Amino acid sequence: MDSFFITSTGTGIGKTLVVTALCSQLRQQGKKVTALKPIVSGFTYDDPESDPALILKSCGLTPTKPLMDTISPWRFTAPIAPNMAALGEGKTIDLDKVIAYCRDHTNLKSDAVLLEGAGGVMAPISDQYTMLDWMAGLRWPAILVAGSYLGSLSHTLTAVEALRGRGVPVRALVISESEKSPMPLSDTTSTLEKFMPRDIPVVKIPRLPVRSEPWKHVPPISWIIKS
């Protein structure tokens, strides 16, 4: 079974779109997928567009409270960095417990485990640790999602260097076109390709119209976890 950590250069970049698209496309190929969003902030059970709800829908499941509790054990209401959201509720996030939870799910009979992080590569999850520490602890290949907004080139290259510097293998870079882009998506993609190591493919997802179940309209990307 293959396990992948989907991370990004920041918040609202497109991690959930990539995770849900991968879930949907793999399921269409007859694969069994386990998708997780262990830590989520800005969460309420009655939000049909929450990350856990969308992930479950893309897996063909109804987003019930028990299922959302299962795939997202660490849930916080405030839409801020996980460490701050947890603090606001008088809680803390124990990194060792998070890593143990993730590893427990690799024992399931799935063809792939897809794990979505929270925020960007260096988003804090406690007073001592960041998302990068979580990824380094797991050592799962990372799929980095970036945008095409002004400044994304530097943010993306910095994120790649940070991941590789901690020994986290980068399986692919996915450029999800931002709402406001200073140049065509193809230009952003071709520029980043010049700086990417040869073993990191660069994939692009054009801006999609606002619609329900957007993952169904993402071009084929499931090949990146098979390469």
Tell me how far apart the alpha carbons of residues 32 and 116 are, in angstroms, rounded to a whole number: 17
For residue range 54-86, list pLDDT tens digits in order.
999 999 999 999 999 999 999 999 999 999 999
**Interval 164-186 mean pLDDT:** 96
For residue range 92-132, list pLDDT tens digits in order.
999 999 999 999 988 778 899 999 999 999 999 999 999 99
Tell me how far apart the alpha carbons of residues 104 and 8 are, in angstroms, rounded to a whole number: 24
pLDDT at 210: 75
Is this model's pTM higher than 0.85 or not? yes
Tell me how far apart the alpha carbons of residues 59 and 57 are, in angstroms, rounded to a whole number: 5
Confidence bin at 37 (pLDDT 50/70/90): very high
pLDDT at 212: 84
Residues annotated as catalytic are 37
pLDDT at 24: 97
Domains of the chain, CATH where assigned: 2-39+94-225 (3.40.50.300)
Tell me how far apart the alpha carbons of residues 205 and 219 are, in angstroms, rounded to a whole number: 7
pLDDT at 227: 58
User: How confident is the prediction for the chain on average, in pLDDT?
Assistant: 95
What's phi and psi for 189, nearest 5 deg?
-65, -50
Percent of the chain with pLDDT over 70: 99
The length of the chain is 227
Nearest to 174 by CA among 148, 211, 136: 148
